[in-house]
Amino acid sequence: MAEYSRLARGSFTSTGAAQIINLPFQPSYVEYFNFSLANTAATSQNVISGKWQYPMAQNSAVIEGYNATPTLIYDTVSVGGISTFSAGQMLQFGAAKQIVASTKGTTTSFQVTAHGYKEGDVVLFEGLFQSSTTGMPQMNGIPFTVITRTDANNFIVNWNSNNAAYTNLAGSPASAKVKQILYPFLYFPGTSVISAITTGTTTTIDTAEAHNFVVGQQVAFHIPSQWGTVELNTIPNNLTPGSPVYAYVIAVTDFNTFVVNVDSSAYTAYTTNIAVTAVPGLSFPQVCAVGDVNTGGVQISSGSALYPPPYSVGIGTTRTNTINGPAVLGSFVNNTSQGFIIGAGAGTVLTTANIVGVAGNIIYWRAQLADIGLPV
């Protein structure tokens, strides 16, 4: 039977790291193939395809690829294979990893050995002290989107540390750690930390992680005085007593930049130049959505999906559908994440092959939740 089965298909460009695929269900069967390697069959240690089905163990897989002969063989993966997930209602984190060093600038780069992050992942820093009075602790506790994966040991986030208040980390300070927020957008648009503000006849806002705002969104600002541009803060409306004055999003530049209809030409300049001594008790500058439900998003029209779900937008133009049905335009939507992960493990015979391929490989996948059979 298939009346209540759920099917999904798609593709992605591999980064060489584990790939999370968000779906409006938790699949009981997953298969994929590496289109980029399909025409290089004679090359040893290429994994061409893989599959997983409940009740196989999580993180396992059956793969097909070429051994050293090279001969096409089947193999199994026990670690770093295919797994399914359901994020629940609270944030979950990956393992804390040691920060080796950092490089300050208009964006900030971190060195973390074999970090495993890809562009679009969201990470959280803690303990960014070089000494008790130096380092980058102003960035502690802020969710950051990885905007550039420089290489296997370095990545960049959107934060201007190019001023005297910040000191580069060096020599693997014991307290300096980073961990990934595995499913960061349980609700969205939510609240975002502001990384930069450009004043003018309209006002451009940069955020540390993906903001998920849409044109027409109402937003409110909460900026402590240390950061400047306090004039943006939401104030009472003199024309409608008790009603705050909100700003409206008039343009979305990219995943972490948007423009509001506020003339800030005469406003105080924004700054991230916050002294390390001010960190205890420091509150972050934030922008939050106002309303009831987010983007419901795609209008129902000729050629569109009949009941388009709300979706979040990560780095680039990547859209991730939520588990929800249609919704009206507005603010917050529940985005409890579900789906599957293709890991970066290797087989028992194909021991040097990364099952998700190498950076640049095109991967096609298909997932299914059957209405007849064992539960996930």
Q: 240 or 169: whose pLDDT is higher?
A: 169
Q: Residue 329: count other Cβ atoms within 10 Å of its Cβ.
A: 17
Asked if 147 and 198 touch (Cβ cutoff 8 Å), the reply is: no
Q: Please indicate, yes or no, if residue 168 is contained in any of the structural domains.
A: yes
Based on the fold, state whether residues 175 and 192 are members of the same structural domain.
no
By CB atoms closer than 10 A (0-12, 13-18, 19+), residue 260 is buried
Based on the fold, state whether residues 37 and 80 are members of the same structural domain.
yes
Quote the number of domains for the chain.
Answer: 3
Q: Is the pLDDT of residue 1 over 50?
A: no
Give bridge partners of residue 33 from the DSSP assignment.
Answer: 49, 364
Based on the fold, state whether residues 347 and 291 are members of the same structural domain.
no
Based on the fold, state whether residues 205 and 132 are members of the same structural domain.
no
Based on the fold, state whether residues 235 and 314 are members of the same structural domain.
yes
Q: Please indicate, yes or no, if residue 375 is contained in any of the structural domains.
A: no
Q: Please indicate, yes or no, if residue 374 is contained in any of the structural domains.
A: no
Final residue of a structural domain among 133, 149, 181: 181
**Dihedrals φ, ψ of 277, to 5°?**
-65, -15
Q: Is the pLDDT of residue 187 over 80?
A: no
Q: Is the pLDDT of residue 176 over 90?
A: yes
Based on the fold, state whether residues 241 and 355 are members of the same structural domain.
no
Based on the fold, state whether residues 129 and 162 are members of the same structural domain.
yes
Residue 97 to residue 100: CA distance in whole angstroms: 9
Q: Please indicate, yes or no, if residue 68 is contained in any of the structural domains.
A: yes
Residue 278 to residue 146: CA distance in whole angstroms: 26
Per the structure, the complete domain to which residue 140 belongs is given by: 97-181
Average pLDDT estimate for 276-297: 78
* Residue 221, domain CATH: 2.40.30.180
- In terms of pTM, does the model score above 0.85? no
Asked if 118 and 131 touch (Cβ cutoff 8 Å), the reply is: no
Asked if 342 and 11 touch (Cβ cutoff 8 Å), the reply is: no
Based on the fold, state whether residues 220 and 360 are members of the same structural domain.
no
Using one digit for the tens of pLDDT, what is the confidence trace for 308-334?
666 676 666 566 666 666 665 555 676
The CA angle 254-259-263, to the nearest 5 degrees, is: 165
Measured CA to CA in angstroms, residue 251 lies from 84, 203, 233, 256, 288 at distances of 36, 10, 20, 12, 16
Based on the fold, state whether residues 294 and 361 are members of the same structural domain.
no
Based on the fold, state whether residues 189 and 303 are members of the same structural domain.
yes
Final residue of a structural domain among 153, 181, 209: 181
Query: Does a cis peptide bond (omega within 30 degrees of 0) precede residue 70?
Result: yes
What tokens appear for 55 in the block?
Answer: 């009740």
Using one digit for the tens of pLDDT, what is the confidence trace for 103-125?
999 999 999 999 989 888 899 99
Alpha helices in 141-290 (DSSP H): none
pLDDT at 306: 59
Q: Please indicate, yes or no, if residue 297 is contained in any of the structural domains.
A: yes
* DSSP E strands, 291-357: 311-313, 319-321, 333-334, 338-342
Measure CA 169 to chain center. 25
Q: Is the pLDDT of residue 172 over 50?
A: yes
Measure CA 93 to chain center. 12
Q: Give the residue among 95, 54, 295, 97 at the shortest CA–CA distance from 185.
A: 295
Based on the fold, state whether residues 209 and 310 are members of the same structural domain.
yes
Using one digit for the tens of pLDDT, what is the confidence trace for 191-228?
899 999 999 999 999 999 988 888 888 889 999 999 99
Based on the fold, state whether residues 199 and 321 are members of the same structural domain.
yes
Dmax (CA) of the chain: 79
Measured CA to CA in angstroms, residue 347 lies from 33, 43, 75, 275 at distances of 15, 16, 6, 50
* Residue 128, domain CATH: 2.40.30.20
Q: Please indicate, yes or no, if residue 91 is contained in any of the structural domains.
A: no
Q: Please indicate, yes or no, if residue 111 is contained in any of the structural domains.
A: yes
Using one digit for the tens of pLDDT, what is the confidence trace for 291-311?
654 444 455 566 655 566 666
Q: Please indicate, yes or no, if residue 169 is contained in any of the structural domains.
A: yes
In percent, the amount of the chain with pLDDT more than 90 equals 51
